[in-house]
Chain A
Amino acid sequence: MNLPRPHLYGLLGEFDSPKQLMAAAKKVREAGYKHIDAFAPFPIEGLSHALGLGRKHDLVPLLTLMGGLGGGLTGFFFQLWVNYSAYPMNIAGRPLNSWPAFIPVTFELTVLGASTFAVFGMLALNRLPQPHHPLFNVERFKRASNDKFFLCIESHDPKFHLEETAKFLQSVSAQHVTEVRDED
C-alpha cells in the first residue's frame, strides 16, 4: 500500500502547567532548536523571552504610533483645508485658521488611527484570520484554549529528527508527544 503520506509539520508536546512549559521552553532552546512555538490558554509572562523572541519581534507599538500620527495629521490639515480654502466661512469673526477649535476632532482622529492600526496591525502581524492550521488536526490541541500548555518543534528546524526530537520532548517532561501532520 502506498498511501500519500501527509506532510509533517512538527512535534507537539503537552504540559500541565505554565511552569513546566517555561522550563521545557528554556531547555528546548538551550538544546539548539530554533523553530519552536508555545501555546497557552492565557498569556504567560516571560514565555516569549524563554522562546527567544525579543522586543524586535513586536512591531505593534510602531504601527500604533504611525496610525496615531497619520490620523492626527490628516485630521488637522483636513480641517484646516476645509476651513481655509475649500469652504471658508466667517464664524463670529474668528480667523479662518482658528486652530484651537480643530483640536477635539484632531484628537479623536489620532485615537481612532492609533487604535485601528494597533488592532489590525496585531492581527496582520499574527497572520490572522487563518482558518486552517496543521495544529488544528491534533485532537488534544483543543485544550490549548482550555487548560493545557503545548510546545511545538517544527519539522523545518535544522536539528529536527522525528525519533530523537520526540525523545527529547519526553525528556523535558512533555506528556503526549504527538506528530502534527497536514495534507498539502
Chain B
Amino acid sequence: MSTGDTPVNSPEIRRLARVLEPGYSYASVTDKIASIVLTRPTSIGWLAGFSIAFTLMMVLLGSIAWLITKGVGIWGINIPIGWGFAIVNFVWWIGIGHAGTLISAILFLLNQKWRTSINRFAEAMTLFAVACAGIFPLIHTGRPWMAYYMFPYPSTMGIWPQFRSPLIWDVFAVSTYGTVSALFWFVGLIPDLATLRDSATNKPAQIIYGMLAMGWRGSARHWHRYQSAYLLLAGLATPLVLSVHTVVSFDFSIAIVPGWHTTIFPPYFVAGAIYSGFAMVLTIAIPLRAAYDLQDFITMRHLENMAKVMLATGLIVAYGYFFEFFMSLYSGNKFDVFLVQQRLHGPYAPYYYALILCNILTPQLLWIQKVRTNVAMLFVMSLVINVGMWLERFVIVVISLTRDFMPSAWGRYQPTFWDWSTFIGTLGLFTSLLFLFVRGLPAISIAEMRELVAHEDHK
C-alpha cells in the first residue's frame, strides 16, 4: 500500500523487505540456530508447554484405547451421519500439512528467498499434521487392526482392494504424501545434522547426530547430486501436494450426496488446504520466533508474505463458497437448492455463519498493511482461520449427511465427549511432536541460511 508520503527507499520499507537482518556471518548463523538444540538449557516454558501437550497426547491415547474397547459407538456418528468428526478432523489435518509442502517445494521452484527460514519447521508441521490426519480414517474403520486390508497384498482369501474407489485412492495419496514429505524433510536435514555432529560437545549427541548425518562431509560432488535430488523432489512434491487434496475432495465429490457432488471441489479444497496450512505456519512461527529470539531470521517480511498468501487463498476459498452456492441455485436441482437453504436456515446454520465470519470476513482485514505487520493481530487471525477451516469441513460433512434425499433418512449429529477428546488429543500429539522437534533438530535450515548470508554478502 503506497501512502504517497513514504519514499521507496525509506528505512521502514527496507526493514519490511528484509529476509535476514544484516550483520550475520556463516558462523553466527550456525551458532544461533544450533545453540537452540545443543547448548541452551531446557527452559521452563518448554517444559510447561511440553507437559501440557504431552498430557493432551495421553488423552488421545486414552480415547483411542476406549474406542478400540467399545467400538465407534462411543462417537456421535450414526446412520445417516456415518462420517462425523473423524472425517472432519482428517480433512482438516491433512489440509494443514499442505502449506509445509507448498513452502518447501513450490516456493523453492519459484526461487522465493523468503521461504528459507520457514521451510524446515513448516515441513515438520506437514509431517506431524499428516501423522494426526492418518489416525482418523484408521480408527474410523471401526476395526483398525484390519486396516491392512486396504493395501493390496496377496491374501489367501484371494481378494484385492477396489481400485475404483476414492477411499483407496486416499490410502495411496496420503501414504505417498507422508513418505515423500518425510524424504524431503530428511534430505534437507542431512547437512544440518552434519553441522550438529561437528558442533556437539557431548558424546551421545555426537553419536546420534553422526549416525543421522550418515557421514555427510559437504563434498562438492555430493552437493552437486544433492542439489539435483532436492530440485527433483521439489518438482515431484508440487503436483503431489495438489493431487493429495484433490483426492481427498474426490472422497466427497465422487459421491452423489447433495452439496458434495460438484466439480469445484478439487481446486477449492486445495486452496482451502493451503489457506489453513499458512494459518498454522503462522500459529507456530509467531511463538517460535519470540521464544528463541529468531526475529532476525523470521522477519516481518516472512510474516507479511504469509499473510498475503493467506489473503489470496482465502479469496479463492470465498470464490469457491460463492460458486458452490451459485451452481446449486443455477442448476435448479431441488436437492441442491434445498441444501443451500439448509445451510442458511437449517439446524446447523450457526456453524455456517461462523464459517463465513472466520474464513471470509475476518481475513479481509489483511488488506491493511498495519494488520499484516502486527504480530499479535496476525496470531489471532491465524487462530480464527484455523477454526474457520475446521468449521468448513464440519459444514460440508455434517449438513449434507443430515439432509439426504429422503426426509425419512434425515438425522442429526451431536459430537460426544469422545469425539472432542480424540480431536483435542491430536492437537496434543501435534504440539508434543513440535516441542520435541524444536529441541532436537534445527528448526531453521542452517545450510540454506548460510547461502542467504553468502547472497547478502554478494550484493
List residues of chain A with CB under 8 Å of any chain B CB. Answer: 18, 37-44, 47-48, 51, 53, 57-58, 60-61, 64, 68, 78-79, 82-83, 86-87, 89, 91, 94, 98, 101-102, 104-105, 107-109, 111-112, 114-116, 118-119, 121-123, 125-126, 128-133, 135-136, 141-147
**Residue B180, interface by CB 8 Å:** yes
Structural contact, B225 and A60, CB atoms closer than 8 A: yes
Interfacial chain A residues near B158, Cβ < 8 Å: 86-87
Residue of A nearest to B25 (CB): A147
Structural contact, B163 and A115, CB atoms closer than 8 A: no
Structural contact, A91 and B162, CB atoms closer than 8 A: yes
**Residue B348, interface by CB 8 Å:** no
Task: Report B126-176 residues with CB < 8 Å from chain A CB.
Answer: 152, 158-164, 166, 168-169, 172-173, 176
Structural contact, B160 and A115, CB atoms closer than 8 A: no
Structural contact, B224 and A41, CB atoms closer than 8 A: no
Interfacial chain A residues near B38, Cβ < 8 Å: none
Structural contact, A47 and B223, CB atoms closer than 8 A: yes
**Residue B219, interface by CB 8 Å:** yes
Structural contact, A60 and B229, CB atoms closer than 8 A: yes
Structural contact, A136 and B217, CB atoms closer than 8 A: yes
Structural contact, A18 and B454, CB atoms closer than 8 A: yes
Binding site of B, secondary structure by majority: helix, strand, loop or mixed? helix
Structural contact, B232 and A114, CB atoms closer than 8 A: yes
Structural contact, A82 and B215, CB atoms closer than 8 A: no
**Residue B46, interface by CB 8 Å:** no
| 11 pairs from A and B in contact (CB 8 Å cutoff) | A18-B454, A58-B225, A112-B180, A115-B184, A115-B233, A119-B183, A119-B229, A122-B187, A122-B229, A123-B214, A133-B217
* Interface mask (B203-220 → A, CB under 8 Å = 1, otherwise 0): 000000011001111111
Task: Report B163-203 residues with CB < 8 Å from chain A CB.
Answer: 163-164, 166, 168-169, 172-173, 176, 179-180, 183-184, 186-187, 191, 194-195, 197-199
4 smallest CB-CB distances across A and B, nearest first, come from A129-B214, A147-B26, A122-B229, A130-B215
Structural contact, A42 and B220, CB atoms closer than 8 A: no
CB contact under 8 A between A43 and B215, given known A61-B232, A145-B194: no
Stretch in B61-69, B239-247, B305-313, B412-420 with 4+ CB within 8 Å of A: B239-247
CB contact under 8 A between A133 and B450, given known A101-B164, A112-B180, A118-B233: no
Interfacial chain A residues near B217, Cβ < 8 Å: 39, 133, 135-136, 141, 144-145
Residue of B nearest to A116 (CB): B183
Q: How distant is the Cα of A77 from the Cα of B166 in the complex, in angstroms?
A: 18
Of B216, B236, B447, the most chain A CB neighbours within 10 A belong to B236
Q: Which of B161, B219, B228, B236 contacts A60 (CB 8 A)?
A: B228
Structural contact, A108 and B232, CB atoms closer than 8 A: no
**Residue B50, interface by CB 8 Å:** no
Q: How distant is the Cα of A92 from the Cα of B150 in the complex, in angstroms?
A: 21
Interfacial chain A residues near B194, Cβ < 8 Å: 145
Structural contact, A42 and B214, CB atoms closer than 8 A: no
Q: Which of A43, A64, A132 contacts B227 (CB 8 A)?
A: A43
Q: How far is the CB of B187 from chain A (nearest CB, A)?
A: 6
**Residue B222, interface by CB 8 Å:** yes
Structural contact, A133 and B215, CB atoms closer than 8 A: yes
Structural contact, A125 and B225, CB atoms closer than 8 A: yes
Q: Which of B173, B179, B184, B221 contacts A37 (CB 8 A)?
A: B221
Q: How far is the CB of B30 from chain A (nearest CB, A)?
A: 5
Structural contact, A119 and B218, CB atoms closer than 8 A: no
Structural contact, A39 and B236, CB atoms closer than 8 A: no
Q: How distant is the Cα of A48 from the Cα of B219 in the complex, in angstroms?
A: 10
Structural contact, B173 and A108, CB atoms closer than 8 A: yes
CB contact under 8 A between A112 and B176, given known A145-B195, A147-B27: yes
CB contact under 8 A between A118 and B236, given known A38-B219, A58-B224, A135-B217: yes
Interfacial chain A residues near B447, Cβ < 8 Å: 41-43
**Residue B250, interface by CB 8 Å:** yes
Other CB < 8 Å A-B pairs besides A42-B448, A48-B220, 4 of them? A43-B447, A53-B221, A58-B228, A142-B199
Interfacial chain A residues near B243, Cβ < 8 Å: 104, 107-108, 111
CB contact under 8 A between A87 and B236, given known A53-B224, A119-B183: no
**Residue B226, interface by CB 8 Å:** yes
Interfacial chain A residues near B198, Cβ < 8 Å: 142-146
Structural contact, B183 and A43, CB atoms closer than 8 A: no
**Residue B451, interface by CB 8 Å:** yes
Interfacial chain A residues near B237, Cβ < 8 Å: 111, 115
Q: How far is the CB of A142 from chain B (nearest CB, A)?
A: 4
Structural contact, B247 and A104, CB atoms closer than 8 A: yes
Structural contact, A128 and B215, CB atoms closer than 8 A: yes
Q: How far is the CB of A72 from chain B (nearest CB, A)?
A: 12
Interfacial chain A residues near B160, Cβ < 8 Å: 82-83, 86-87
